[in-house]
């Protein structure tokens, strides 16, 4: 498996990341896999050379961490594990968020569930409007200094929020976010407007969640397959333009046939061709689903194929992006 550098660190992670949100009790259409099924997926991922595994303290009420930790017993030093904090872990008023209280307690709980004494990458699961970023970063600094956490990152942040965390880290000499975990795929390209340019400029890596749009880009719904989008609360979450999506799948099916690969593998190859993307996070409910996507690692699309996919999936530029492009054009074209 090819490796990528995580952000501005010296840590190497696999070109594909294995997500563990399907591990454990079913929660809102997530999860449902038992210990044996989860271990089978982890073992196959390891055999394929994947060394990066992602979970969260709230996936399947914490059971995702437990099953991932159990599956990695005896292999912990060979892998990089990321988990997340912010989401509710109880019913109390302080059982969620990014306060020092919750961060330290949540990490201690995650360490026990993962059966490890350190977390490679601790990611905040989103912005907390009640906790000052400085408090969060100082708590993260203490966790890094204690050896319980090695690197930190963010997820589901606006560009200004990520910029604020980065600025505080630089000013105060605190650990910086080395990775952004964000939604990105051929039917969800909003990340390109602000966050990808910011991450490239600041040398922050990007790991993408739902790189196949909850399975939509595999084409399975077109052919009568079932999946997460059949659940009412996820029927249009994340939101997507299905008219554009169907055109994208038409093209994916053509390229899949030409490359003798799955539609999902082609969709993954498209985003991995973007140097800003560190790795997509794969989700699987069985080993067979994982097998369909593993060939994406070595699938190289031609410049023409990439251009066609970019054109069919293009979305309008928002303001001020279109104005910035308009104003800069004369300078770009100047002799």
d(CA 111, CA 109) in angstroms, rounded, equals: 5
> Can you give the pLDDT at residue 228?
65
Residues in contact with 37: Cβ distance below 8 Å, sequence separation at least 6, in sequence order? 286
> Can you give the pLDDT at residue 230?
62
Catalytic residues: 59
pLDDT at 304 over 60: yes
> Can you give the pLDDT at residue 224?
67
Confidence (pTM): 0.94
Quick one: pLDDT band at residue 30, thresholds 50, 70, 90?
low
Higher pLDDT: 334 or 108? It is: 108
> Can you give the pLDDT at residue 237?
77
Share of the chain above pLDDT 90, in %: 86
pLDDT, one tens digit per residue, over 307-334 is 999 999 999 999 999 999 888 877 666 5
CATH class of the structural domain 3-333: alpha beta
pLDDT at 226 over 70: no
Angle formed at CA 117 by CA 80 and CA 45, multiple of 5 degrees: 30
**CB of 239 closer than 8 Å to CB of 272:** no
pLDDT at 335 over 60: no
Mean pLDDT of 166-184: 99
What one-character-per-residue DSSP string does 233-293 give? Answer: GGTTSS---HHHHHHHHHHHHHHHHHHTS-HHHHHHHHHHTSTT--EEEE--SSHHHHHHH
pLDDT, one tens digit per residue, over 43-91 is 999 999 999 999 999 999 899 999 999 999 999 999 999 999 999 888 8
Quick one: pLDDT band at residue 27, thresholds 50, 70, 90?
low
Question: Is residue 49 helix, strand or coil?
Answer: coil
């Amino acid at each position: 498996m090819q490796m990528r550098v995580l952000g501005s660190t010296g840590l190497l992670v696999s070109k594909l990341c294995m997500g563990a949100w399907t591990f454990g009790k079913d929660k809102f259409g997530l999860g449902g896999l038992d210990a044996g099924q989860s271990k089978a997926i982890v073992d196959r991922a390891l055999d394929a050379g994947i060394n990066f595994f992602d979970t969260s303290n709230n996936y399947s009420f914490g059971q995702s961490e437990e099953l991932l930790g159990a599956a990695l017993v005896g292999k912990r030093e060979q892998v990089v594990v990321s988990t997340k904090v912010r989401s509710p872990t109880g019913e109390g008023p302080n059982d969620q968020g990014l306060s020092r209280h919750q961060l330290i307690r949540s990490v201690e709980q995650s360490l026990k569930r993962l059966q490890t004494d350190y977390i490679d990458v601790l990611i905040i699961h989103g912005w907390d409007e009640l906790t000052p970023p400085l408090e969060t970063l100082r708590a993260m600094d203490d966790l890094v200094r204690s050896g319980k956490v090695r690197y930190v990152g963010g997820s589901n942040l606006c560009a200004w929020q990520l910029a604020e965390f980065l600025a505080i880290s630089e000013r105060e000499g605190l650990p910086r976010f080395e990775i952004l975990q964000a939604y990105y795929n051929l039917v969800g390209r909003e990340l390109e407007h602000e966050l990808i340019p910011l991450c490239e400029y600041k040398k922050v890596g990007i790991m993408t969640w739902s790189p196949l749009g909850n399975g939509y880009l595999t084409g399975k719904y077109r052919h009568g397959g079932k999946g997460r989008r059949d659940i009412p609360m996820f029927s249009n979450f994340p939101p997507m333009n299905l008219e554009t999506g169907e055109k994208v799948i038409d093209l994916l099916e053509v390229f899949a046939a030409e490359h003798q690969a799955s539609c999902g593998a082609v969709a993954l190859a498209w985003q991995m061709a973007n140097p800003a993307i560190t790795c997509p996070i794969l989700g699987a409910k069985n080993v067979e689903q994982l097998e369909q996507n593993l060939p994406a690692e070595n699938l190289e699309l031609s410049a023409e194929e990439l251009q066609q996919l970019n054109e069919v999936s293009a979305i309008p530029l928002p303001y001020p992006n279109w104005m910035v492009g308009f104003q800069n054009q004369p300078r770009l074209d100047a002799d």
